Structure 1
Amino acid sequence: MKKALIITLSLMMVIFGLAGCSNDDKKQEANNDSKSEYNIADTQKVEDALKDESWVVVDTRLNDAFNGWKLDGISRGGRIKGAVDFSANWLNVEVDEKKVNKEEVLNEALETKGITKDKNIVLYDANGKDSKEVAEYLKEKGFNNLYLYDVNKWADDDKLPMEKYKNYQLIVPASITKDVIDGKKPESFENAKNIKIVEASWGEEKTSYAKGHIPTSFHINTDEIEPPAVEPPMMWMLADDETLKSVALKYGFTKDDTVIVTGEEPMSSYRVATVLRYIGVNDVRVLNGGTMAWTMAGYELETTSNKATPVEDFGGVIPGNPDVIDTMEETKEGLKTPDKFTLVDNRTWDEYIGKSSGYSYHDKMGRVPGSVFGYAGKTDSYSLDYFRNIDKTMRNANEFLDLWKKQGIDTTKHLSFMCGSGWRVAEIYTYSDVVGLEDISIFSDGWIGWSNDSSNPTETGEPKK
């Protein structure tokens, strides 16, 4: 009887064991099938690819990881030195097709980064998903020589070079912002004090803020830092220092705060952020990609109206960092020494050559004599195509630095960035700081301030070579 029972149990174990093995085998087979269409690169293959012009190594992660943040559990932050970027996140961006041709933008990105069909392409990520998603996209476009690589293998070997932007922490990922809101002290926030989340946008709360904002954030109307003119000509110029001091106290800012500025339109976030830096707040950052980055990360917006707590003492002199802003007088003096100073005009080409003013409320067209075209966007005064990815994150700095180099802009000189009235260049100034450029500032009055003074010289047409 015992013998029969043992035999029966043994047969059952074998049957169930075989069934279990069969299921595991099927799962493994399915996994193998999903990978079989792509080659899996090892670290040596990646090292060789970086030395071979017929290969291109592509970082498919969020651009925050490319910039330097340690995301997805990676042991070292940054990118493989020599890699270009094409984020899987870009494929999932929803755009207004009447305004933006998404496929055209992505095709241009591929071409700019040298990701072409004749190349062997290594796509890497840290989560096992991003590179596969980009590979599927490229395969549909007719790319064949695709390899996948797990960048964790590279990061875990300290002998292999990774690089990050010097001040990558100035633009913050959505996941890090979420950690901060949840009371954690993530990377680079270990010593942060009095952390405040600010939503910056034009108009009253009902204009943008009330429709949905990052949780805990309070609203700042950009009109408070640049009040509209009380009489013609209509313009919005940066407020005087006394007014900015009042704004700082009203919203409870002190010099020792850590501030993350957010907003539906990142340009307004960067404008407020640079003003806070000028005032003297020691640690000011911006949510990279703005509200879009937050929602694409799967986080919810809130509609609760949060109010700031005023303070009576900023804790330091205002402005505490005056070098952020160049006055009209400083700009004029700088233009007299082109061997040391460059006024970089970050407007559209049509604005620069005097074909368009760029603004419905400003009709004067042209440029400041001696200024150098430094790019911005392709369409209007709210576009920054040459500095942003399609998901509104910071573009690969090598790409806009290369554009500047072709324009003869020497980044070892003092660069004073100007646009119409300081919005576009606030973002460009911050990106330059992220990269590590140190001798930089903003000519906040910009073209509007310059051209409204009839005593200032102007010029139009394409500059002489």
Structure 2
Amino acid sequence: MKKSLLSALTAALILAACSQSDGVKSITTAELASHLNDPAYVIIDARDDSLFNGFKENGAKRGGHVAGAVQFSSTWLGRIDDDKFISFAAAKGITKDKTLIIYDTDPDALARVAAEFKARGYKVASYDKFIEYANDESLPMQSYANYELAVSAKWLKARLDEPNPPKIYEVSWGSVEKSAAYLSHIVEAYHFDTDLIEADPVWNLRPLNEIRANLASIGIAADTPVVLYSANQLAALRVLFALKYAGVKDVRFLNGSIYAWQELGYPVETKVNTPAPLPSFGEAAANLNINVSMPDDVIKMQKSVGLKLVSNRSWDEYVGKISGYDYIPGKGEPAGAIWGFAGSDSSNVADYYDPDDTLRNPDEIFALWQSQGINSDDYVAFYCGTGWRASVSWFMTELAGWKHAYVYDGGWNAWQMHSRYPVQLGAPNGASKPDSGNDYGKVYKAGGSCRG
């Protein structure tokens, strides 16, 4: 999913802009504060996701981002097609009629992003005193309630050198012998076969006692700190959902996967690491309430609390053109399902990914959902074919601390197995496919270890 080289035009723009770097005005904290609610300005956070979401910078009293800031990470440069750049930026509210205030604590990254926009004809100012801003508690900041669930490669590398480091698991479908993604993996990582948490024919979560026994067999107890990653983000987030369900107290997602790790030059290895089994999972409360298992459970909650059923299947699946799977014959969606954005096919939810293969920040996704009538105080259950794609949407709500968000685990697969459940074909009211505002010209890879 990586673009290894900048396009010739992008490289030329950056070089040209770097020669004009003195033309970018650097502003003070007071100047930034004066433009916080100014519609003529756009404040842009160029840092990585973990810092935007809520992790603290070194020396900062508060974590998160300047209130109202949009995200445009320096790591996206070179990963956006040149003919898509302006429209991609505009979808985030970044337009040439406004003045951009770009901030970062990395001076090189700040200069690159400012130079890129300046070279393309935007009005640009830079701000390099974010720590000062973060330490002034009179100035507004925003962060997500459970930001710590999505971690950066830098965070993980630092934790490995501390006492009680987390256990790392590469997640994919199949045994370690069959896992192509484990052939080269993060140092000390183990393999996690998704069959440990789900089973055919519906591919629902296994019974709680089975999941817990399987986790103990690969070295995971309730109090084991765990970090998950996968070549295809869906697998790791599906398993994170299962571990939360089972009661693992500290489980996190490596945002950007092994790609982010390798880009920082961190070590990988090819040897197989085998986790020592544990005698038991231990005592912990399960989080059974995050799972809506089967169609009858959905219908019951629709009647009792007005549950909204949100599809994370591709548009062609949603409107009933295709089933999306060679093992699911039925086409359509549960009656009343709302489209919650997705991807090109059952292997991805590309609407949810940034150009660097990290997750889009939750606010961007929530804005899309609001356009579909999905709000933070709703009771919502996300589903796809069998639970993988839906886990990404659920994870977004978990980051933000939504109180009534679930995965409908049975998905379309369970629904279409029985004719007694009502089905919709075609987009409701003849609606057209909504725009996700995320077209940066990327070609999506399918990923071979995804059930969708």
With the length of structure 2 as denominator, give the TM-score of the two structures.
0.85
Equivalent position of 2:74 in the other structure: 88
Give 2:137's match in structure 1, choosing from 135, 143, 158: 158
Q: Displacement of 1:381 after TM fit?
A: 1.5
Q: Displacement of 1:81 after TM fit?
A: 0.6
Q: Displacement of 1:92 after TM fit?
A: 4.7
Equivalent position of 2:227 in the other structure: 260
Equivalent position of 1:428 in the other structure: 393
Give 1:217's match in structure 2, choosing from 186, 189, 193: 189
Give 1:79's match in structure 2, choosing from 33, 58, 65: 65
Give 1:148's match in structure 2, choosing from 92, 110, 126: 126
Q: Give 1:203-352 correspondences, 5 Å limit.
A: 203-205=174-176, 206-229=178-201, 236-316=203-283, 320-328=286-294, 329-337=296-304, 340-352=306-318
Q: Give 1:383-402 correspondences, 5 Å limit.
A: 383-402=348-367
Give 2:328's match in structure 1, choosing from 344, 354, 362: 362
Equivalent position of 1:128 in the other structure: 107
Tell me if the contact between 2:70 and 2:92 (Cα under 8 Å) persists in the aligned partners. Answer: yes
Q: Aligned partner of 2:360: which letter?
A: R
CA distance in structure 2 between the partners assigned to 1:385 and 1:203 by the alignment: 24
Cα deviations across residues 350-409 of structure 1 (Å, max 9, x unaligned)?
2111122122332311010122221122x1122223322122222122221111111112
CA distance in structure 1 between the partners assigned to 2:264 and 2:86 by the alignment: 24
Q: Displacement of 1:51 after TM fit?
A: 2.2
The change in CA–CA distance for 1:242 and 1:156 in structure 2 (over 3 A counts) is: closer
Equivalent position of 2:93 in the other structure: 114
Equivalent position of 2:440 in the other structure: none
CA distance in structure 1 between the partners assigned to 2:132 and 2:291 by the alignment: 44
Tell me if the contact between 1:208 and 1:264 (Cα under 8 Å) persists in the aligned partners. Answer: no
Equivalent position of 2:171 in the other structure: 200
Cα deviations across residues 158-196 of structure 1 (Å, max 9, x unaligned)?
221222111100111111111111225xxxxxxxx6732
Tell me if the contact between 2:21 and 2:115 (Cα under 8 Å) persists in the aligned partners. Answer: no
CA distance in structure 1 between the partners assigned to 2:197 and 2:409 by the alignment: 12
Q: Aligned partner of 1:136: which letter?
A: A
Q: Aligned partner of 2:340: which letter?
A: G
1:437 maps to 2:402 = yes
Equivalent position of 1:457 in the other structure: 422
Cα deviations across residues 250-275 of structure 1 (Å, max 9, x unaligned)?
11221122211112222111011111
The change in CA–CA distance for 1:105 and 1:197 in structure 2 (over 3 A counts) is: farther
CA distance in structure 2 between the partners assigned to 1:149 and 1:194 by the alignment: 35
Cα deviations across residues 33-62 of structure 1 (Å, max 9, x unaligned)?
874221111112212222221111100011
CA distance in structure 2 between the partners assigned to 1:73 and 1:263 by the alignment: 32
CA distance in structure 1 between the partners assigned to 2:87 and 2:167 by the alignment: 38
Q: Aligned partner of 1:434: which letter?
A: L
CA distance in structure 2 between the partners assigned to 1:425 and 1:330 by the alignment: 17
**Runs of 4+ in structure 1 over 6 Å off:** none
Tell me if the contact between 2:234 and 2:348 (Cα under 8 Å) persists in the aligned partners. Answer: no
Sequence identity percentage: 34
Tell me if the contact between 1:181 and 1:215 (Cα under 8 Å) persists in the aligned partners. Answer: no
CA distance in structure 2 between the partners assigned to 1:33 and 1:105 by the alignment: 24
CA distance in structure 2 between the partners assigned to 1:105 and 1:354 by the alignment: 30
CA distance in structure 2 between the partners assigned to 1:242 and 1:194 by the alignment: 26
Tell which deviates more after alignment, 417-426 or 32-41: 32-41
Tell me if the contact between 1:196 and 1:260 (Cα under 8 Å) persists in the aligned partners. Answer: yes
Equivalent position of 2:379 in the other structure: 414
Q: Aligned partner of 1:450: which letter?
A: W
CA distance in structure 1 between the partners assigned to 2:195 and 2:60 by the alignment: 42
Q: Displacement of 1:105 after TM fit?
A: 5.9
Tell me if the contact between 2:394 and 2:406 (Cα under 8 Å) persists in the aligned partners. Answer: yes
With the length of structure 1 as denominator, give the TM-score of the two structures.
0.83
Tell me if the contact between 2:302 and 2:308 (Cα under 8 Å) persists in the aligned partners. Answer: yes
1:403 maps to 2:381 = no
What SS does the aligned partner of 1:438 have? Answer: coil
Q: Displacement of 1:348 after TM fit?
A: 1.8
Tell me if the contact between 1:74 and 1:126 (Cα under 8 Å) persists in the aligned partners. Answer: no
Root-mean-square deviation (Å): 2.2
What SS does the aligned partner of 1:336 have? Answer: helix
The change in CA–CA distance for 1:35 and 1:48 in structure 2 (over 3 A counts) is: same
Tell me if the contact between 1:105 and 1:390 (Cα under 8 Å) persists in the aligned partners. Answer: no
Q: How many residues align?
A: 410
CA distance in structure 2 between the partners assigned to 1:39 and 1:397 by the alignment: 31
What SS does the aligned partner of 1:421 have? Answer: coil
CA distance in structure 1 between the partners assigned to 2:58 and 2:359 by the alignment: 20
Q: Displacement of 1:246 after TM fit?
A: 2.9
Q: Displacement of 1:220 after TM fit?
A: 0.9
Q: Give 1:42-81 correspondences, 5 Å limit.
A: 42-71=28-57, 73-81=59-67
Cα deviations across residues 226-264 of structure 1 (Å, max 9, x unaligned)?
2344xxxxx633333343233122112211222111122
Q: Aligned partner of 1:252: which letter?
A: G
Tell which deviates more after alignment, 68-77 or 344-353: 68-77
Cα deviations across residues 422-444 of structure 1 (Å, max 9, x unaligned)?
00111211111101212111111
